[in-house]
């Protein structure tokens, strides 16, 4: 690591040690055309991605003491397209679950969607208006386990109905967990279509009904876990609004944000809040 002054988002030695083997292995398989291993410290590349995630800054506003924008973009897109970001995510998730005395993959997940405004410049053909919540932009769909760890993420235009949304999430959960997930809890926005589709892939989808006597916001048992995860994602300003031109980039941002959280969970370090910053 360089001798620059550290940022709060920087990886500690312990957190970097959790990620470094994956990055080092990737780098060994992807030498430059000339055969050298590159000019930039891979830890600093990841630090730049985490800095942008936490602060929400534009690419061109990354600090000059971090690697050049072109280099950071290169690795972000490469790791997005070949799934390295998700590989890191899955390895960290398995370690967190093992640390909590659980099996690598869950048997129960909770699904939910969140509508997000799209930033100026985001291609119009990747965004639409959520007719129910009156939000123009995209939806972020999460499937989380009982610890609030992300199992799957989907980011389509906001106009996509929760049925199509839920079907895509259920498919991604089934494909990514090797058939361990037996049950999925969803809210009343998800309809019979999702329940029926779940049966086709071996997942019992249960719609959690709201108690009619409850007034105002009342957290539903187990269902609240996904809301907690959404709140944690809001600590990363890059995720408060959708700034990404491609939905694949929006999904990758979620993985990096949760990677940050899980590496802190594994090293018993807290996530600094940005309130008042």
Domain spans in the chain, listed from the N-terminal domain onward: 105-243
Radius of gyration (C-alpha) of the chain in whole angstroms: 19
Comparison of pLDDT for 215 and 227, the residue scoring more:
227
How many Å apart are CA 65 and CA 264, to the nearest integer?
A: 24
270: left (phi over 0), alpha (psi -120 to 50) or beta: beta
- What was the pLDDT predicted at 277? 47
Number of H helices, E strands in the chain: 8, 6
**Tokens encoding 60:** 């061109």
Distances (CA, A) of 276 to 62, 77, 229, 272, 273: 21, 32, 22, 11, 9
On the CB side of 100, CA atoms within 13 Å amount to 19
Nearest to 139 by CA among 257, 250, 1: 250
Q: Per-residue pLDDT for 274 more than 70?
A: no
Q: Per-residue pLDDT for 130 more than 80?
A: no
Q: What fold does the segment set 105-243 form as a domain?
A: Nucleotidyltransferase; domain 5 (3.30.420)
DSSP designation for 179? T
94 pLDDT tier (thresholds 50, 70, 90): very high
DSSP designation for 128? E
Strand 135-144 relative to strand 128-130: parallel, antiparallel, unpaired? antiparallel
Average pLDDT over residues 202-211: 84
**Tokens encoding 43:** 């830890």
Q: Is 122 exposed, middle or buried (0-12, 13-18, 19+ CB in 10 A)?
A: buried
Structure-token match 């959790």, residue found? 18
184 pLDDT tier (thresholds 50, 70, 90): very high
Q: Per-residue pLDDT for 214 more than 70?
A: no
Sign, CA torsion 263/268/269/271: positive
How many Å apart are CA 245 and CA 121, to the nearest integer?
A: 8
Mean pLDDT for the chain overall: 88
pTM comes to: 0.89
178: left (phi over 0), alpha (psi -120 to 50) or beta: left
Angle at CA of residue 81, ends 250 and 149, nearest 5°: 50
How many Å apart are CA 262 and CA 96, to the nearest integer?
A: 7
Nearest to 80 by CA among 238, 263, 251: 251
Q: Residue 139 in 3-state DSSP?
A: strand
How many Å apart are CA 249 and CA 155, to the nearest integer?
A: 9
Average pLDDT over residues 113-141: 79
Q: Per-residue pLDDT for 272 more than 90?
A: no
113 membership: H or E segment, kind and range: strand 108-117
């Amino acid at each position: 690591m360089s001798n620059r002054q550290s940022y709060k988002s920087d990886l500690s030695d312990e957190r970097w040690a959790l990620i470094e083997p994956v990055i080092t292995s990737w780098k060994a398989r992807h030498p430059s055309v000339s055969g050298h291993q590159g000019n930039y410290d891979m830890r600093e590349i990841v630090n730049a991605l985490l800095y942008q995630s936490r602060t929400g800054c534009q690419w061109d506003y990354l600090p000059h003491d971090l690697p050049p924008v072109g280099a950071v973009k290169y690795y972000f897109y490469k790791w997005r397209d070949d799934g390295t970001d998700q590989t890191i995510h899955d390895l960290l998730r398995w370690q967190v679950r093992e640390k909590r005395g659980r099996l690598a993959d869950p048997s129960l997940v909770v699904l939910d969607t969140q509508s997000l405004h799209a930033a100026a410049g985001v291609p119009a053909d990747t965004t639409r208006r959520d007719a129910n919540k009156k939000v123009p932009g995209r939806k972020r769909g999460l499937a989380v386990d009982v610890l609030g760890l992300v199992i799957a993420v989907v980011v389509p235009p906001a106009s996509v109905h929760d049925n199509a949304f839920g079907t895509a999430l259920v498919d991604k959960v089934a494909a990514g967990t090797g058939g361990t997930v037996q049950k999925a809890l969803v809210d009343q926005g998800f309809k019979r279509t999702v329940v029926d589709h779940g049966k086709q892939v071996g997942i019992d989808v249960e719609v959690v009904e709201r108690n009619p006597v409850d007034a105002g916001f009342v957290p539903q048992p187990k269902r609240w876990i996904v809301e907690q995860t959404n709140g944690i994602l809001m600590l990363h300003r890059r995720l408060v609004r959708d700034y990404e031109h491609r939905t694949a980039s929006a999904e990758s941002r979620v993985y990096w944000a949760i990677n940050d959280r899980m590496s802190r969970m594994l090293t018993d370090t807290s996530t600094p809040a940005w309130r008042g910053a």
